[in-house]
Structure 1
Amino acid sequence: MNKIAILYQAQLPPVKNGIQKPMKSGGYSDSGADIAFELLKNNVDVITPIENPNQNNDKDWVFPDTKKGIETALQKGAKIFWLNTVLYQYHTIESYFDKELEIVGQTPELVDIYDDKTLTNSLLKSNNIPIPKNELITIENYNDLLLELEFPLVLKPIRGRGSQGVTKINNRNELIENLTKMFSESSYGNAAYVEQYLNGQEITITVMPQGNYTINNNEKYFNRPWCLPAVKRFNHNNGIAPYNGIVAVMENSEVLSDNELHTTEIQEVYEHCVKSAELIGIKAPIRIDCRANEQGKYFLFDLNMKPNMTGPSRTHRVNQDSLTLLSARKIGWDYFDLLNNMLNQKWKASK
């Protein structure tokens, strides 16, 4: 196989229509290093920035997603780029799409569009996919707000990252207070998003793109996107699943039981997730967070174009299963199986 370089996020994405997507400390170099280490351990031809990388140093294993980082990887013979980074239209990698590269990850343009919660949820709603009732709030109108939604609500960034910046809001005073803080800090730009709070069970579903996969040593072709088993979240902090940079997902998440996985409600939400992935045209896994109402009906509330891909490849990272890996284990995949199946979905870049 051609040589693989794994990219991490080296800088903030540009502001888009006044909205800023926040950056994770380290820019996903931790999961990038997990991926590189696991692939190398299994004799996959991964290149690294330095000759003898230290397993404790994340950035020994991954290249920054800058012109310099990409060109360094190309000089070292990289033909496959694993985009373990936040993408957006005109991302630097697009400048190299004429080099006959192969890509693991989404197209930058796709992520640029669907990272916007308002746009994505509008698309889902227009296709009869259940989402919570929601409203857009801007820096210009938030003090004179006439909300149609009832409290409690969930306040979240429009271009968010996991549960970072997501807050359960119980009354109008709390809402104004949190909006004032959010807008004054400018971490997420000049608009925000509120949606009805659903008090049922929360699950997260990884949707894989269509393609050929190996499951239990058997080749299987999926002619449309498909779902890994749903994972339930628990031990919420004030109604919100804690950010996984603070609490490891293994401490507050587990795959649903066999009985739960076969319920009508879960099968229905799987179909909604598959339909969402088809509408968007995914080329790599996405993760969709869903929550039930009091009647047990699930609503899709967050579509994550870049699921975290941490894993227990290095000795100091044994508790770093991602939500996607927890789910993958249920169908018999270990970390390498998951990564190898993702690698098999690589696509040829072209201008």
Structure 2
Amino acid sequence: MANADIKVAIVYQAHPAPAVNGIIKPPKPGGYADSGADIAYALKIQQINVITPVPNPYVDKDTDWVFPDTEHGIAHAIEKGATCIWLNTVLYADHPIATFLNRGIQVVGQHPVLSGMYDDKWATAELLKDNDLPVPHAEQLHYEDFIAGVRKMHFPMVAKPIRGRGSEGVALIRNKQEYQSVLTAMFQTDRYGTTIYLEKYLPGEEVTITVMPPGTYTLQGRTVKKETPWCLPAVKRFNHHNGIAPYNGTVAVIHNSTVLNDKEEADLRIQQLYTQCATAGKLVGMRAPIRIDSRADENGNYFLFDLNMKPNMTGPSRLHRHDQDSLTALAARKIGWSYPELLVNMLGQHWGL
């Protein structure tokens, strides 16, 4: 099905994802309705047939552009004519979209089973490590072990939710006092569940790389077929807060991120990182863009420390959102794609069972 024939509806996260073995993924306020509306509006101005909940959506009212990712919400979109569902939401094995995939609907997004599996930082790090990809040393800390105080500590370290969302809840820990205070707060909020991810802190430069799935793309006016996962240009992160890149809901990425220049990109370590990230994309069975965050150690060697099955996809398509570029949109601009052109190319990789 060509893009010209598609009728696409964008869905957002209406409810928190279910806990998995006591581990919770905290929902984003608004459930990505904001980026979903950015996507819908941008596709519409590219002459894509976008199905919306209301006939004449207001440009600045997010929920006029997107459907909830419930069974009822998806069915409503299909009843209104949608032939493709854009999954701008958190996925898991028994997500409602699974029912509609089995009925032949097309989607833009990851396979729900694989997305749920690799949303788990521990499982993903183990997969990458088992396939000889560089990941920082890490451990899982269960609540009962924290209370018992039975582990040996090596500082500095980074504490993260196992099923996190961006840098929310991520904290640098430099000593025993911070260890106690940070982890006590993380466990007491009950926002992340009963297990926390502890990772060796890497002091070097941080870059993030968007990996695109195999498929057919329009690049500089030509149709190009990519047989394997491939990378958009790396984006460098700076202006960290206490050693951690701030959550993009707090600081817009345009204020702390920039695409590598040609000389920086030509560095052999960055080129090797592209190969490693593409391999990681293949390992997780990607069917839509993923984003991998990497950071260098004290010797300048990069490690893959975070693989995001659902990268943030905000964009400056609406006037009141002019500063809402995402890391992926920044990277896409270097290869000649505007935000709407990035989305049209993503739409071209729609799939179904």
TM-score by length of structure 1 reads 0.98
| Partner residue, 2:84 | 80
Q: Deviations over 1:160-203 (max 9, x none)?
A: 00000000001122112111111111100000011111000000
**Distance 1:148-1:121 versus aligned 2 partners, 3 A rule:** farther
| Partner residue, 2:73 | 69
Which residue of 201, 206, 223 corresponds with 2:210? Answer: 206
Q: Deviations over 1:310-330 (max 9, x none)?
A: 111101011111000000000
Give the aligned residue type for 2:54.
I
CA drift of 1:54 comes to: 0.6
| Partner residue, 1:29 | 33
| Partner residue, 1:318 | 322
CA drift of 1:99 comes to: 2.7
Which residue of 195, 198, 202 corresponds with 1:194? Answer: 198
Structure 2 residue 43 is the aligned partner of structure 1 residue 42: no
Between the aligned partners of 1:36 and 1:204, the Cα distance in structure 2 is: 25
Structure 2 residue 147 is the aligned partner of structure 1 residue 143: yes
In structure 2, list runs of 5 or more residues that go unmatched.
Answer: none
Give the aligned residue type for 2:300.
G
Aligned partners of 1:149 and 1:196 also within 8 Å: no
Structure 2 residue 5 is the aligned partner of structure 1 residue 16: no
Between the aligned partners of 1:120 and 1:261, the Cα distance in structure 2 is: 26
Which residue of 34, 53, 58 corresponds with 1:54? Answer: 58
Give the aligned residue type for 2:247.
Y
Q: RMSD of the alignment, in Å?
A: 0.9
Q: Deviations over 1:235-277 (max 9, x none)?
A: 0000000000010000000001110101011011111101111
**Distance 1:149-1:221 versus aligned 2 partners, 3 A rule:** farther
Between the aligned partners of 1:10 and 1:42, the Cα distance in structure 2 is: 27
| Partner residue, 1:114 | 118
Q: For 1:118-129, what aligned pairs fall within 5 Å after superposition?
A: 118-129=122-133
Aligned partners of 1:231 and 1:323 also within 8 Å: yes
Aligned partners of 2:208 and 2:235 also within 8 Å: yes
Give the aligned residue type for 1:300.
L
Which residue of 225, 228, 233 corresponds with 2:229? Answer: 225
| Partner residue, 1:329 | 333
Give the aligned residue type for 1:234.
F
Between the aligned partners of 2:71 and 2:137, the Cα distance in structure 1 is: 42
Q: Deviations over 1:67-110 (max 9, x none)?
A: 22111111101110000000001001111123321110001101
Dislocated runs of 4+, deviation >6 Å? none
Which residue of 5, 10, 27 corresponds with 2:9? Answer: 5
| Partner residue, 1:264 | 268
| Partner residue, 2:346 | 342
Instruction: State the SS of the aligned residue for 2:84.
Output: strand
Give the aligned residue type for 1:309.
M
Aligned partners of 1:38 and 1:313 also within 8 Å: yes
CA drift of 1:63 comes to: 0.1
Between the aligned partners of 1:212 and 1:219, the Cα distance in structure 2 is: 7
CA drift of 1:144 comes to: 3.4
Aligned partners of 2:6 and 2:48 also within 8 Å: no
Give the aligned residue type for 2:238.
F
Identity of aligned residues (%): 55
Aligned partners of 1:285 and 1:307 also within 8 Å: yes
Deviating more after overlay: 107-116 vs 169-178:
169-178
Aligned partners of 2:145 and 2:151 also within 8 Å: no
Instruction: State the SS of the aligned residue for 1:99.
Output: coil
Deviating more after overlay: 336-345 vs 137-146:
137-146
| Partner residue, 1:242 | 246
Between the aligned partners of 2:169 and 2:258, the Cα distance in structure 1 is: 24
Q: Deviations over 1:20-61 (max 9, x none)?
A: 000000000000000000111111000100011111110000
CA drift of 1:150 comes to: 2.0
Between the aligned partners of 1:149 and 1:107, the Cα distance in structure 2 is: 37
TM-score by length of structure 2 reads 0.97
Between the aligned partners of 1:153 and 1:49, the Cα distance in structure 2 is: 46
Aligned partners of 1:134 and 1:149 also within 8 Å: no
In structure 1, list runs of 5 or more residues that go unmatched.
Answer: none
Give the number of aligned pairs.
349
Between the aligned partners of 2:149 and 2:7, the Cα distance in structure 1 is: 54
Structure 2 residue 93 is the aligned partner of structure 1 residue 101: no
Structure 2 residue 136 is the aligned partner of structure 1 residue 132: yes
